[in-house]
């Protein structure tokens, strides 16, 4: 490849960074300025121009998805198989190292990874075993404490309690937790990093080997590295390596999880002679979107200061929409997506971004109702679903009998008559003799300290796992999974569960067999296929969802949208209290981090951006009444077009005239794809805008108002979305929780307000 070919898709500043002489480099630049493009081109440059072997490149990306994309781009650029490069997330790379050097790292070869739920379960058990009151020693808080310490590289033995009894107990829990994990041969996410860091720190020969090997360490999204990640990079880089990091202080959004934006300055101190490159041209967004983003982030203090401009088009205004509740918001989003796809956009061009995972459900429902395929990144993902975790627990036990978390999960699932008392005896035996639950079970059975029924049932369970292990040894992976799902009794168990839920569970289990069939292992792996698959299930959850090939709407939290871009973005739930998040509002640091998150959100959009908020929102089962997020008011009004004026829906509204003159219809919002009554809803809102103008209640209608909850004889409970017309012909549209949206004649519907 000729250098010109590589550089022709880059501007001058980007070229300078890509072709810079080897040396520590920092690219500091705003969103969409091509940092990731520069990082990828740099790898291609090193290999094709500097004669660097692909084996000496290690690149850290933010998500597994980004890693896969990067491999693909490098393959394309160089025509090389990307497999030779070590590209991955910090966690993924740390995991790879520990798999290679499990012995030196003090782990069993078949160690398993705990995700956050599993981890919490272990913490709970530890709290119980230490006989602490879990209302005072809240397991979630302790989990946070443990992870925080690990992110800072601290072990219990290096922690001082400073005479503080609370802290002393927390350290005690941390120590007991560590012991429990070590005994079970499992490690959590934070441990992956800390353990691999210690592996290098304590094994000079290994470190020297990797320092020699990875002369080129590249890190994307450097602003979000935490302390241990930074130290990991620094240790690997040593004195010889030539790190190349790119980042943007304005997009630092993981402070709450220990990320240190100061690492950017620290890097420049720790690697003397660092050359800093700045990129200023944005290639992603329209002028309007970019101006909005610049104005928004200007409200933060202490920025490193960057300018960002574009020579692209000004583009459309940013559209805001005031929904009266979360369902209305979801419907608005669905309509915008339908409108865009009708105009030729692909579904995958549309992204829905939200602050917290729980917001996705309502939007998912609206998408399902409209039959629009979508994918959720993050949140409750395939590998996190209960039945999948049950199946994985069996598989994990088959592979590693000492995995206590898995043992606990399935020892009595499906029910096989192993009672709480028997399990308590097993736990006590384990604790007293420092045994895994598996070993403790065998010990308790042979010591005859269990009741005869409990002993027989437990014995049957142990025999079942042994039998599954024997039967599946040597089978192809998907057959192993298939056998274990059936042989464990799980499949039958869920088949018996009535209704859609049980059906979905069975489908999910079947899907796990397909996932196993489609699984390809890493070429360097020394692990058995099953163990590799189990690790993959934890690490990649959410990123390998079933319908990847299908053109689908992309849904994710703002946090997981970092680094990505979409032609059309709907940023939903812009209400004070939700975004910015309630717990950050009174804390300047927290508020600024939320603003950076908003900046990340806005700068994901290439051509079109919608910002929506709801006057009333039911979240986690609680009704909240929000005011529009301050972030909206921080965007200059000339960049914004309100799709419809805000309305006061809390006021009663009895029907309305369906003549829509201005308001929603006039500002472009009116057509309701698939809806029974386009335009007329605008009239309803028109009425709502004018609280003085009450329309006569429809005969027989007991004062229906928007947002009101009602009960219907057949459809159950729902919320009134629209009241249309009055008198005999009045209609209401109700969104029923179980039956979806229905338009009913008020006269006959017999709706009961609740
Ligand atoms: P973020 O901060 O969001 O991670 P980034 O700085 O990493 O953004 P990229 O994702 O690398 O930016 O680039 C943004 C978009 O601009 C991409 O679509 C990329 O292909 C395009 N782009 C970058 N540089 C150029 C260029 N010189 N010419 C044309 N397009 C470019
Ligand atoms: Mg990027």
User: Does the pLDDT at position 723 exceed 80?
Assistant: no
User: Does the pLDDT at position 133 exceed 50?
Assistant: yes
Which token pair is 195? 């353990």
Task: Identify the pLDDT of residue 235.
Answer: 94
> For residue 669, what are the CA distances in angstroms to 84, 337, 359, 733?
52, 13, 23, 18
Q: For a substitution probing ligand 1, which of 37, 42, 77, 279 has the most ligand atoms within 8 Å of its CB?
A: 37
Q: Could you give the CA distance from residue 194 to residue 624 in angstroms, rounded to a whole number?
A: 41
Nearest Cα residue to atom 8 of ligand 1 = 32
User: Does the pLDDT at position 211 exceed 90?
Assistant: yes
Contact 25, 13 (CB under 8 A): no
Contacts of 621 (CB under 8 A, 6+ apart): none
What is the number of the ligand closest to the CA of 252? 1
Domains annotated on the chain, with CATH: 3-102+193-281 (3.40.50.300), 112-184 (1.10.10.160), 318-379+549-642 (3.40.50.300), 382-540 (1.10.486.10), 701-753 (2.40.10)
Task: Identify the pLDDT of residue 665.
Answer: 30
Q: Could you give the CA distance from residue 552 to residue 572 in angstroms, rounded to a whole number?
A: 18
Instruction: Give residue-wise pLDDT tens across range 332-365.
Output: 999 999 999 998 999 999 999 999 876 776 787 7
Nearest Cα residue to atom 9 of ligand 1 = 34
Q: How confident is residue 418, by pLDDT bands cut at 50, 70 and 90?
A: very high
pLDDT > 70: percent of the chain? 84
Q: How far is the CA of 241 from the centre of ligand 2 (A)?
A: 23
* Mean pLDDT (whole number) for 187-216: 95
Q: How far is the CA of 217 from the centre of ligand 1 (A)?
A: 21
Beta-sheet pairing, 622-625 with 605-619: antiparallel
Question: Is 453 noted as a catalytic residue in this protein?
Answer: no
Q: How far is the CA of 602 from the centre of ligand 2 (A)?
A: 14
User: Does the pLDDT at position 692 exceed 50?
Assistant: no
* Mean pLDDT (whole number) for 562-581: 94
Q: How far is the CA of 283 from the centre of ligand 1 (A)?
A: 6
* Mean pLDDT (whole number) for 709-720: 81
Q: Which of 151, 178, 191, 220 is catalytic?
A: 220
For ligand 1, what atom is nearest to the CA of residue 37? 11
User: Does the pLDDT at position 224 exceed 90?
Assistant: yes
Contact 337, 287 (CB under 8 A): no
User: Does the pLDDT at position 663 exceed 50?
Assistant: no
What is the number of the ligand closest to the CA of 42? 1
Q: How confident is residue 259, by pLDDT bands cut at 50, 70 and 90?
A: confident
Task: Identify the pLDDT of residue 540.
Answer: 52
Task: Identify the pLDDT of residue 713.
Answer: 78
Q: Which of 15, 35, 595, 644 is catalytic?
A: 35
Q: How confident is residue 157, by pLDDT bands cut at 50, 70 and 90?
A: very high
Task: Identify the pLDDT of residue 366.
Answer: 85
Which residues on neighbouring strands pair with residue 112, listed in sequence order?
186
Task: Identify the pLDDT of residue 699.
Answer: 35
DSSP letter for each residue of 691-724: TT-PPPPPTT-----TT-EEEETTTEEEEEEEEE
Q: Which of 71, 215, 604, 672 is catalytic?
A: 604
For residue 410, what is the enclosing H or E element?
helix 404-410
φ, ψ dihedrals at 306, nearest 5° = -145, 150
DSSP letter for each residue of 88-133: E-HHHHHHHHHHHTTTTTT--TT-EEE-HHHHHHHHHHHHHHTT--
pLDDT > 90: percent of the chain? 54
Which token pair is 5? 């070919």
> ω into residue 580 within 30 of 0, thus cis?
yes
Instruction: Give residue-wise pLDDT tens across range 286-330.
Output: 999 999 999 999 999 988 888 899 998 999 999 999 998 888 999
Higher pLDDT, 284 or 753: 284
Q: How far is the CA of 261 from the centre of ligand 2 (A)?
A: 16
Nearest Cα residue to atom 27 of ligand 1 = 10
Q: Could you give the CA distance from residue 96 to residue 527 in angstroms, rounded to a whole number?
A: 11
Q: Could you give the CA distance from residue 197 to residue 754 in angstroms, rounded to a whole number?
A: 59
Which token pair is 598? 């908003």
Q: Could you give the CA distance from residue 150 to residue 147 in angstroms, rounded to a whole number?
A: 5
> What does the DSSP 8-state code read for residue 622?
E
Residues within 6 Å of ligand 1 by CB:
9-11, 14, 29, 31-37, 248, 251, 283-284, 563, 565, 603
What is the number of the ligand closest to the CA of 33? 1
Q: How far is the CA of 451 from the centre of ligand 1 (A)?
A: 67
Q: What is the mean pLDDT of the chain?
A: 83
Q: Which of 151, 178, 191, 221 is catalytic?
A: 221
What is the number of the ligand closest to the CA of 279? 1
Give the length of the chain.
754
Task: Identify the pLDDT of residue 457.
Answer: 95
Candidates 645, 638, 631, 621; CA nearest to 585 is 631
* Mean pLDDT (whole number) for 665-691: 29
For ligand 1, what atom is nearest to the CA of residue 30? 2
Identify the top-confidence range among 253-262, 277-286, 680-689.
277-286
Q: How confident is residue 531, by pLDDT bands cut at 50, 70 and 90?
A: confident
Q: For a substitution probing ligand 1, which of 13, 14, 32, 277 has the most ligand atoms within 8 Å of its CB?
A: 32
Which token pair is 359? 């917001």
For residue 53, what is the enclosing H or E element?
none
Which token pair is 509? 């289990």
User: Does the pLDDT at position 269 exceed 80?
Assistant: yes
Task: Identify the pLDDT of residue 682.
Answer: 29
DSSP letter for each residue of 350-367: EEEEESSGGGHHHHHHHH
User: Does the pLDDT at position 201 exceed 70?
Assistant: yes
Sign of the dihedral through C-alpha 741, 745, 751, 754: positive
Instruction: Give residue-wise pLDDT tens across range 359-387.
Output: 776 787 788 778 888 888 764 456 667 88
Candidates 450, 443, 392, 395; CA nearest to 420 is 450
The number of helix segments (H) and strand segments (E) in the chain equals: 29, 21
User: Does the pLDDT at position 747 exceed 70?
Assistant: no
User: Does the pLDDT at position 696 exceed 60?
Assistant: no
Question: Is 306 noted as a catalytic residue in this protein?
Answer: no
Q: Could you give the CA distance from residue 238 to residue 241 in angstroms, rounded to a whole number?
A: 6
Nearest Cα residue to atom 14 of ligand 1 = 32
For ligand 1, what atom is nearest to the CA of residue 39? 11
Q: What phi-psi label fits residue 363: left (phi over 0), alpha (psi between -120 and 50 degrees) or beta?
A: alpha
Which token pair is 190? 């934070």
Q: For a substitution probing ligand 1, which of 18, 28, 59, 283 has the most ligand atoms within 8 Å of its CB?
A: 283
User: Does the pLDDT at position 36 exceed 50?
Assistant: yes
Q: How far is the CA of 352 from the centre of ligand 2 (A)?
A: 19
For ligand 1, what atom is nearest to the CA of residue 563? 4
Contacts of 38 (CB under 8 A, 6+ apart): 10, 14, 17, 18, 27, 246, 279
Q: How far is the CA of 718 from the centre of ligand 1 (A)?
A: 45
Q: In which residue are the tokens 């002028």 written? A: 287
Task: Identify the pLDDT of residue 685.
Answer: 27
Q: How far is the CA of 718 from the centre of ligand 2 (A)?
A: 43
User: Does the pLDDT at position 542 exceed 80?
Assistant: no
* Mean pLDDT (whole number) for 550-571: 92
Q: What angle do CA 236, 251, 357 make, to 5 degrees?
A: 100
Q: Could you give the CA distance from residue 735 to residue 567 in angstroms, rounded to a whole number?
A: 30
φ, ψ dihedrals at 378, nearest 5° = 80, -175
User: Does the pLDDT at position 675 exceed 80?
Assistant: no
Nearest Cα residue to atom 24 of ligand 1 = 34
Angle at which helix 189-202 crosses helix 227-237, to 10 degrees, equals 30
Contact 114, 535 (CB under 8 A): no
Task: Identify the pLDDT of residue 644.
Answer: 64
Candidates 18, 440, 523; CA nearest to 9 is 18
User: Does the pLDDT at position 463 exceed 90?
Assistant: yes
Contacts of 418 (CB under 8 A, 6+ apart): 411, 412, 454, 457, 458, 461
> What does the DSSP 8-state code read for residue 525?
-
Candidates 225, 326, 330, 273; CA nearest to 553 is 330
DSSP letter for each residue of 275-326: EEEEE-B--SS-HHHHHHHHHHHTT-SS------B--S---PPEEEEEEEEH
Question: Is 433 noted as a catalytic residue in this protein?
Answer: no
Q: In which residue are the tokens 């041969």 written? A: 185
Instruction: Give residue-wise pLDDT tens across range 44-95.
Output: 999 989 999 888 999 998 877 778 878 887 888 777 766 678 999 999 999 9
Q: Could you give the CA distance from residue 451 to residue 483 in angstroms, rounded to a whole number?
A: 31
Q: For a substitution probing ligand 1, which of 73, 218, 284, 559 has the most ligand atoms within 8 Å of its CB?
A: 284
Question: Is 35 noted as a catalytic residue in this protein?
Answer: yes
């Amino acid at each position: 490849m000729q250098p010109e070919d590589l550089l022709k898709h880059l501007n001058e500043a980007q070229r300078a960074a890509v072709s810079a002489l080897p040396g520590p480099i920092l690219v500091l630049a705003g969103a969409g300025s091509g940092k990731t493009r520069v990082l990828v081109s740099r790898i291609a440059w090193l290999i094709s121009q500097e004669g660097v072997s692909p084996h000496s490149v290690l690149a850290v990306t933010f998500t597994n998805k980004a890693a896969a994309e990067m491999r693909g781009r490098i393959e394309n650029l160089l025509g090389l198989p990307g497999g030779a490069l070590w590209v991955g997330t910090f966690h993924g790379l740390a995991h790879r190292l520990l798999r290679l050097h499990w012995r030196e790292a003090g782990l069993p070869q078949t160690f398993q990874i705990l995700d956050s739920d599993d981890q919490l379960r272990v913490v709970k058990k530890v709290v119980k075993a230490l006989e602490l009151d879990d209302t005072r020693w809240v397991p979630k808080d302790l989990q946070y404490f443990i992870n925080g310490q690990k992110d800072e590289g601290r072990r219990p033995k290096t922690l001082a309690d400073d005479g503080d009894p609370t802290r002393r107990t927390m350290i005690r829990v941390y120590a007991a937790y560590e012991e429990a994990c070590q005994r079970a041969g499992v490690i959590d996410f934070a441990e992956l990093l800390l353990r691999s860091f210690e592996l290098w720190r304590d094994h000079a020969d290994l470190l020297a080997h990797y320092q020699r090997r990875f002369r080129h360490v590249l890190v994307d999204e450097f602003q979000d590295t935490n302390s241990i990640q930074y130290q990991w990079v620094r240790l690997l880089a040593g004195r010889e390596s030539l790190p190349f990091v790119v980042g943007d202080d304005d997009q630092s959004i993981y402070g709450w999880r220990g990320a240190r934006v100061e690492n950017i300055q620290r890097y420049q101190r720790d690697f003397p002679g660092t050359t800093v490159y700045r990129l200023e041209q944005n290639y992603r967004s329209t002028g309007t979107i970019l101006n909005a983003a610049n104005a928004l982030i200007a409200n933060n203090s202490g920025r490193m200061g960057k300018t960002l401009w574009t020579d692209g088009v000004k583009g459309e205004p940013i559209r805001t929409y005031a929904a009266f509740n979360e369902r209305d918001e979801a419907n608005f989003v669905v309509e915008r997506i339908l409108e865009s796809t009708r105009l030729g956009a692909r579904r995958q061009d549309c992204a829905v971004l939200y602050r917290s995972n729980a917001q996705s459900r309502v939007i998912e429902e609206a998408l399902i109702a409209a039959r629009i395929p979508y994918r959720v990144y993050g949140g409750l993902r395939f590998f996190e679903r209960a039945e999948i975790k049950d199946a994985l627990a069996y598989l994990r036990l088959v592979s590693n009998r000492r995995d206590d978390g898995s043992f606990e999960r399935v020892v009595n699932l499906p029910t096989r008559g192993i009672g709480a008392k028997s399990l308590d005896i097993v736990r006590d035996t384990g604790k007293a003799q420092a045994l895994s639950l598996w070993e403790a079970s065998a010990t308790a059975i042979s010591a005859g300290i269990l009741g005869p029924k409990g002993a027989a049932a437990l014995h049957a369970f142990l025999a079942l796992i042994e039998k599954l292990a024997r039967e599946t040894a040597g089978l192809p992976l998907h057959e192993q999974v298939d056998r274990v799902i059936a042989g464990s009794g799980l499949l039958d168990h869920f088949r018996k569960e009535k209704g859609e839920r049980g059906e979905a569970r069975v489908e999910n289990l079947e899907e796990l067999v397909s996932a196993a069939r489609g699984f390809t292992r890493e070429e360097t792996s020394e692990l058995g296929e099953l163990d590799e698959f189990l690790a993959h299930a934890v690490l990649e959850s959410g990123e390998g969802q079933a319908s990847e090939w299908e053109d689908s709407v992309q849904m994710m939290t703002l946090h997981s949208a970092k680094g990505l871009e979409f032609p059309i973005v709907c940023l939903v739930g812009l209400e004070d209290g939700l975004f910015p998040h309630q717990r950050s509002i009174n804390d300047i640091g927290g508020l600024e981090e939320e603003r950076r998150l908003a900046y990340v959100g806005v700068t994901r959009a290439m051509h079109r951006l919608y910002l929506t908020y709801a006057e009333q929102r039911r979240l986690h089962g609680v009704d909240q009444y929000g005011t529009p997020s301050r972030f909206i008011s921080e965007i200059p009004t000339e960049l914004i077009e309100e799709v419809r004026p805000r309305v006061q829906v809390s006021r009663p509204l009895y029907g309305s005239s369906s003549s829509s003159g201005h308001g929603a219809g006039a500002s472009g919002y009116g057509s309701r794809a698939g809806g029974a009554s386009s335009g007329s809803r605008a009239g309803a809102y028109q009425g709502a805008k004018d609280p003085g103008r009450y329309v006569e209640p429809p005969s027989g209608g007991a004062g229906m108002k928007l947002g009101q909850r009602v009960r219907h004889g057949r459809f159950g409970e729902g919320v009134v979305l629209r009241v249309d017309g009055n008198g005999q012909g009045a209609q209401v549209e109700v969104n029923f929780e179980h039956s979806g949206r229905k338009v009913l004649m008020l006269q006959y519907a017999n709706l009961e307000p609740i």
